[in-house]
Structure 1
Amino acid sequence: MKYRYAGNSGFKISEITYGNWLTHGSQVENDVATACVRAALDAGITSFDTADVYANTVAESVLGEALKGERRESLEIFTKVFNAIGPKGPNDVGLSRKHIMEGINGSLQRLQTDYVDIYQAHRYDYETPLEETMQAFADIVRQGKALYIGVSEWTSEQLREAHQLARQLGIQLVTNQPQYSALWRVIEEKIVPTSEELGISQIVFSPVAQGVLTGKYKPGEPYPEGSRATDSKGGASMIKNTLAQEETLVAVQKLQPIADEAGLSMVQLSLAWVLHNPNVASAIIGASRPEQVAENVKAIEKPLSDDLWDAVNETLAGVAVTDAERTYQMSPKQRPGTN
């Protein structure tokens, strides 16, 4: 395994992070989830990402149980707060001091740990003053319940304001967690330059565009049975509406010769592509079978050359989503489920 710094800090995370967004507590049984976590550890992955909202807190519990007995100092554990959890009452959502403080305590209990390495704001909360949010995060860091602070899908302006407040409060905002892949490049115009300036890294999710970049979705053919595009609980609407348009699927099929030239599978090519961006500290992978983990990690063995990176971009030109304005649509203007 290789490691990269999280932002402008001395903290290193593995280039591949194991995440359990759409699997643990929902799509796969707990014993399979545990086997996948063990496979990640065996492959050298030390960074693990989850969130309290995944499977309405169950995913955190599954991950905590799977990591039980491991040397805590040898792991990097990230979780998130914002979305509605539990009975989803008016204070069970958002980035108010109340929800953040209760959120970290619940997450630590479920993860069976005294602290998380990065505590992340899952989205931006337009209903809570940012000063309140950042003060709560600062208090959590000072209490030793989190070592660093991160965010997810924030705009460049929000990153800049939060970074300034973090410095004033004496804490480190080190990461942003956006969606990023060869098909979803909306962070490149504004988020990445701002992050590079401020010393913030990206920990990216959906580097394989939720399976579209595997090439398993064939143009003109029905979606494979059991695939994410057929699972209403697994992001099917996002795949169908944004990433799995017919012209996109045609272009993706043309990536196979590039993958062959690089000596990589299509999944490995996709991971190598995102890791080619120096502002990316880590790419998050998920798995429904243990063998998938070891295969995906091989992506770090063969860094993508500039020529092959360009070849991927040229192949997907016209179908990759690059509109920076999409970053302004990621956080809801009102807290979900409370109106």
Structure 2
Amino acid sequence: MQVSFACTDHGLKAPRNGEHSKQNATSPNTTSQARARFRTVALIARSLGSFTHRYHHNLKESTAKLTGMKYRNLGKSGLRVSCLGLGTWVTFGGQISDEVAEQLMTIAYESGVNLFDTAEVYSGGKAEIIMGNIIKKKLHGCVLTVLTCSLALCSRAETERGLNRKHIIEGLKGSLQRMQLEYVDVVFANRPDSNTPMEEIVRAMTHVINQGMAMYWGTSRWSAMEIMEAYSVARQFNLIPPVCEQAEYHFFQREKVETQLPELYHKIGVGVVSWSPLACGIITGKYENGVPESSRASMKPYQWLKEKIMSEDGRKQQAKLKELTHIAEKLGCTLPQLAIAWCLRNEGVSSVLLGSSNASQLTENLGAIQVIPKMTAGITAEVDHILGNRPHSKRDYHH
């Protein structure tokens, strides 16, 4: 399962000087009521896109004009997210140092990014700890609209995984504790298991929202049929339905996002937060002449990636990328920027998660914002012609 959060009022945890005596005299019930009122006001204000810390300018106003960052609704909910987000998959707590992680989050935030994605299984929970520390240290009291963390329980023992009520609630509580947060904006549920009824999953997600632990919930790597079932269960029992799906989407992975999910977007309002826009680095072009020793594909845990690159299909993909490079040059951008902007041309994509291991890479990828206006129907048609894999759909879902 996955989760996300918005701006936490750190003042609830750290009272200002001179307020200790007043708080000590306050009953637990009064404190609980105050917290409940804050969460209610925060939820209403956030849905209107106006929740700001008293000492900070609105994130959109202070950065969008300078960076060109675009903001979209998360599905058809009222939550506004930056069209580019930062993921922490194998980097935070793993491939990069804490200092570099802090640098990346700072660059992203200062560029207008308000969507940060992590998961409890990333580096065994270290990614959540690192991200929480950075938020507390550098982004204290900031307008951080969405943070996504994941409770992907698939790596645990059979009795400790799955999307049953116990694992969803306990997993989310563990993530909140590691990140030093009281709630998250969005909690994403990973692939449902066959042992847990859909009604139990939807009821558990509704519970964590009603308890103030999350504001919205979404799905991750679910089929269109599973998402529709969750929506139907929510409507049948007056529960809260999902607002978005996390799905892989790039030049060579198009079917689900372009043919299945658009139907859900228009029918029930489920949008897409896509990941791996560069196909685990394949679209960067660095594998054109083989697998460099310093690349991810050269590492033992990524033998599958190396085999994929060296396969016949992998060589055909590299040939197509070489042709796509000419389009990127014509637009005055890099191949990765073209690939990311191509993902964002889809109206159902709320945000694209970037994965970076250094500042220069992240800065380059964020530059894809400037390429979006150049993704005309003509350019898109050229890309489709080179790729030769455009799925058949009932209608055109491009901008």
Alignment of 1:91-102 (within 5 A): 91-102=159-170
Describe the shift of the 1:313–1:178 C-alpha distance in structure 2 as closer, same or farther (beyond 3 A).
same
* Aligned partner (choices 374, 378, 387) of residue 316 of structure 1: 387
| Aligned partner (choices 354, 363, 369) of residue 285 of structure 1 | 354
Please state whether the residue corresponding to 1:113 is helix, strand or coil. Answer: coil
Structure 2: distance between partners of 1:74 and 1:314: 40
Code of the aligned partner of 2:318: L
Amino acid at match of 2:211: Q
Q: Describe the SS at the equivalent of 1:302.
A: helix
* CA distance 1:152–1:238, change in 2 (3 Å): farther
Richer in helix (by share):
2
Alpha-carbon distance, 1:83 to partner: 2.1
Tell me the equivalent position of 1:331. Answer: none
- Contact in 1 for aligned 2:115/2:144 (Cα 8 Å): no
| Partner Cα distance (1:256, 1:79) in 2 | 34
TM-score normalised by length of structure 1: 0.88
CA contact (8 A) 2:217 2:242 kept: yes
Match of 2:226 among 143, 148, 158: 158
Query: Aligned-pair RMSD on alpha carbons?
Result: 2.0
In structure 1, the residue matched to 2:152 is 82
Q: Distance in 2 between matches of 1:240 and 1:180?
A: 20
Q: 2:293 aligns with which of 216, 221, 225?
A: 225
What is the aligned partner in structure 2 of residue 237 from structure 1? Answer: 304
2-structure distance, mates of 1:254, 1:181 = 16
Q: How much has 1:286 moved relative to structure 2?
A: 1.2
Do structure 1's residue 255 and structure 2's residue 324 form an aligned pair? yes
After superposition, where does 1:124-273 map in structure 2 within 5 Å? Answer: 124-167=192-235, 168-187=237-256, 188-218=258-288, 221-233=289-301, 235-238=302-305, 240-241=307-308, 245-273=314-342
| 2:177 equivalent to 1:105 | no
Number of the residue aligned with 2:109: 41
Instruction: Tell me the distance in 1 between the aligned counterparts of 2:212 and 2:232.
Output: 21
Once residues 91 and 110 of structure 1 are traced to their aligned partners in structure 2, the CA distance between those partners, rounded to angstroms, is 23
Q: In 2, Cα distance between the equivalents of 1:102 and 1:307?
A: 50
Assess if the C-alpha contact under 8 Å between 2:338 and 2:371 holds in 1. no
Q: What is the rounded CA distance, in whole Å, between the counterparts of 2:306 and 2:231 in structure 1?
A: 33
- Displacement after TM superposition at 1:238 (Å): 4.2
Aligned to 2:367: 298
Does the residue aligned with 2:365 lie in a helix, a strand or coil?
helix
Q: Deviations over 1:286-338 (max 9, x none)?
A: 111122222211111221112112211211115x8x699xxxxxxxxxxxxxx
Deviation (angstroms), 1:72:
5.0
Q: Write the letter of the residue equivalent to 2:131.
A: L
Structure 1 residues 34 and 300, CA gap change in structure 2 (3 angstroms)? same
1:119 & 1:323 partners in 2: Cα distance?
Answer: 32
- Name the CA distance, whole Å, in 1 between partners of 2:228 and 2:359: 39
Superposition deviation, residue 216 in structure 1: 1.4
Q: Deviations over 1:143-194 (max 9, x none)?
A: 0101000111111110101112234444241110010001111212223323
- Residue aligned with 1:10, SS: coil
Q: Unmatched 5+ residue regions in structure 2?
A: 1-68, 394-399
8 Å CA contact 2:202–2:241 kept in 1: the answer is no
Secondary structure (helix, strand or coil) at the match of 2:255 reads coil
What SS does the corresponding residue of 1:284 show, helix, strand or coil? strand
Percent same amino acid at aligned positions?
Answer: 33
1:252 offset after TM fit, Å? 0.9
Counterpart CA distance in 2 for 1:134 and 1:323 is 32
Contact 2:184 2:213 in 1 (8 A): yes
Q: Displacement, 1:84?
A: 4.0
Specify the code of the residue in structure 1 equivalent to 2:367.
K
**Superposition deviation, residue 142 in structure 1:** 0.2
Distance (whole Å) between structure 1 residues aligned to residue 110 and residue 230 of structure 2:
37
Q: For the Cα contact (< 8 Å) 1:181–1:207, is it kept in 2? A: yes
Equivalenced residues, count: 317
Bigger relative contact order, structure 1 or 2, given CA contacts below 8 A and separation 6+? 1
Letter of the 2:368 counterpart:
A
Q: TM-score, normalised by structure 2?
A: 0.75
The equivalent of 2:90 in structure 1 is 22
**Cα deviation per residue 1:222-259 (whole Å; 9 max; x = unaligned)?**
312221221233x5514633786111111111111100
1: CA distance, partners of 2:255 / 2:134: 34
Residue deviations 1:2-38 (CA, integer Å, cap 9, x gap): 1000112111110001000121111112221121111
1:5 alignment partner AA: N
Q: Computing the radius of gyration over CA atoms, which structure comes out larger, 1 or 2?
A: 2
- Paired with 2:303 and 2:116, the residues of 1 have a C-alpha distance of 24
Q: What SS does the corresponding residue of 2:94 show, helix, strand or coil? A: coil
CA contact (8 A) 1:192 1:279 kept: yes
